[in-house]
Amino acid sequence: MFANPELHGALQVPIAVVDRPLDQRRDLLWFALDGAAGHVAVVGAPRSGKSTALHTLICGLALCHTPAEARFYCLDFGGGGLSTLRDLPHVGGVAGRLDATAVRRTVGELTTLLAERERRGADAPPDHVFLVVDGWSTLRGEFDDLEPLVADLAGRGLAYGIHVLASATRWLDFRPATRDLFGARLELRLGDPSDSMISRKAAADVPVDAPGRGVSSEGLHLLTLQPTLTGDTPLPKAVATAWSGPPAPAVRLLPPALPYADLDLTASTGLTLPIGIAEADLRPVTIDFATDPHFVLFGDAECGKTNLLRLIAKTIVERNPPSDAKLVIVDYRRTLLGAVSGPHVLEYVPSLQMAETMARGMATALEKRLPGPDITTEQLRDRSWWDGPEVFFLIDDYDMVAGSSSNPLHFLVDLLPQARDIGLHVIVARRSGGASRALYDPLLQRLRELDAPGLVMSGNRDEGPLVGNVRPSQQPPGRGVLVRRRDGVSIVQTALFTEAG
C-alpha cells in the first residue's frame, strides 16, 4: 500500500494477515473506511491484542495521510497502550481514565466539530477525524453520560468525516443500536467463544497465548499486523521527524482558572449574566435571570461559591443603574463585605437579628407588587402595573441562615413562584455537606419545585442528587455541573473574580 501512490489519501489500511489453508495462501485483510464501513470495532479478551490492532489502524492511516487529511483523538482506557502515539503529528491528544477533564473535553471537541460541520452543510469535510476509544466498557461504566454522545458521533459522523474506532472485551459491551453502526469488525480471541458473532467453532480454535490471533468475517484465522519500523527509532517519532508541517490541533482544555477580565461581557445583555465557559465547547455560559429568576449553588468550602456570588453582584452593578437593580446581601460570615458598594446595595445583612427585620420588610414591599383585581390583561402581559428596580437576594452560607431556630427568610417562600411578575431574584449558596437533608427546607424545597437552575460544585457524592439528578463530585476550584431546565447538564468553569477585576 505504502509504495502505491494511487492508494495515498484513500482511507484504506491493512490490518491483518488471513490464513487460507485450502488455497495455500495468505492474504492481507484491508479495512476501507471511506464508505459505510467507516467505524471499526475491535473485540477480544484481555491481552488478546486489541490495543495493538488500534495502533496498527492509526499508524497505517498516518503513514498514508498527512495530519491535514487524518487526525486522531484517543481515549486510552486500556492500560496506557495508546500513550506511545502522542509523538505522532496526526494525534491531537491521548486522554487516560484518570484524567476525566481531558476525556470529557475530547468528546466535547468532536461533538462541537460535528455540530459545526452540520451547520456548514453538504461541503466535503477538509479532513477525516477519528475518535479512538480503547476500552468501551470503561466509557459505559465510568463516563456513562458520554456514551450517548459517542454513539451519536457514530450515528451521524460518517457523512461529515468523523469516525469512531473502538475496542471492547465482549460484543455485548456495545449496546445493540451502537454495535450495528460498526461496519468494520475485528474479532480476536474471546474470553468465551460462545460470544462470537462470526463463528463459535472458529473462535474456540483461536490459541490462548497468541496475542493478535483472531477470526475473519469468513471464519478464517488471522494475525493482526504490528506497526513497527526497522531500526531503533519508534514509528511515531520517525513520522514526526519526517513531517515538517503543522500537527493536528490539540484538544483544548478548560483552564484551571478563568480571570473575570477574560469573560466576554458583551456577548449578553440585560439580566442575562455570564458566569464562565462550558467544558463542551469552551463558549461563554450565561444565566438568564429574566427567564429563570432564581439560582442555587452547592459546594464544599473553597470550591468557589462565594467567588461566583461576588462575580454575579459585580456584573449586576456594572450592567444596570441603581434605578434598575438593587442588591440585598445576606452574609453572616461577611465574606461578601466590600464586593460591591454604593447605591446598588439596598441592604447588607450580617446577622440573624438584621435578617428577620429585613426579610419581613422586603416581603411587605414586594407583596405590594402583586397584581390586584383591577389590573388589565395588557398590564399583566407587559408587567407595567408597578415601577421599581429588580431586587436580587444574594445569600451566602445558607446553612447558617436556615440553621438558626427560625429561618428569617421564610417570609419570601410564598413570593418565589411569582418572582418574574414582581422582579424578585433569589440566589442561594450552601455547602454541600448535609445538603440532602437541607433540601426539605421550605425555601430550598420551593426552589426545587420551580426547577430553578443550579450549579453543583465540589462535594461528597454520598450526599445524593442535589439539583436534578446531579450528585456532587470532586472538582477543581471554580468548576461545577450546571443544571438548567432548557439546556440540560453541562460542566462549567466559573470566572475568578478579584478586586482588580
- 235 and 264 share a domain? no
- 286 and 220 share a domain? no
- 310 and 222 share a domain? no
pLDDT at 156: 95
Give CA angle at 79 (193, 461), nearest 5°. 100
Q: Which among 242, 277, 312 is the end of a domain? A: 242
Residue 180 in any domain: the answer is: yes
pLDDT at 383: 82
- 213 and 288 share a domain? no
Residue 249 in any domain: the answer is: no
- 297 and 435 share a domain? yes
- 300 and 226 share a domain? no
Q: Which among 184, 210, 242 is the end of a domain? A: 242
- 136 and 48 share a domain? yes
Residue 400 in any domain: the answer is: yes
- 199 and 274 share a domain? no
pLDDT at 229: 65
Residue bearing cell 482544555 = 253
Residue 431: domain span: 258-496
Residue 247 in any domain: the answer is: no
Helix, strand, coil fractions of the chain, as percent rounded to 5 = 35, 25, 40
- Per-residue pLDDT tens digits for 141-191: 999 889 999 999 999 999 999 999 999 999 999 999 999 999 999 999 999
The three state secondary structure string of 431-476 is: CCCCHHHHCCCHHHHHHHHCCCCEEECECCHHHCCCECCECCECCC
- 358 and 211 share a domain? no
Residue 248 in any domain: the answer is: no
Q: How far apart are CA 235 and CA 77, in angstroms?
A: 22
Half-sphere exposure of 212 (CA within 13 A, CB side): 13
Q: Which residues of the chain have pLDDT under 50?
A: 1-2, 500-501
Residue 251 in any domain: the answer is: no
Residue 319 in any domain: the answer is: yes
Q: Look at the chain and report how many structural domains it folds into.
A: 2
- 277 and 238 share a domain? no
pLDDT at 486: 82
Residue 437 in any domain: the answer is: yes
- 160 and 308 share a domain? no
Q: Which among 209, 242, 275 is the end of a domain? A: 242
Question: Mean pLDDT in the chain?
Answer: 91
- 60 and 205 share a domain? yes
- Contact between 456 and 472 (Cβ < 8 Å): yes
CATH number for 485: 3.40.50.300
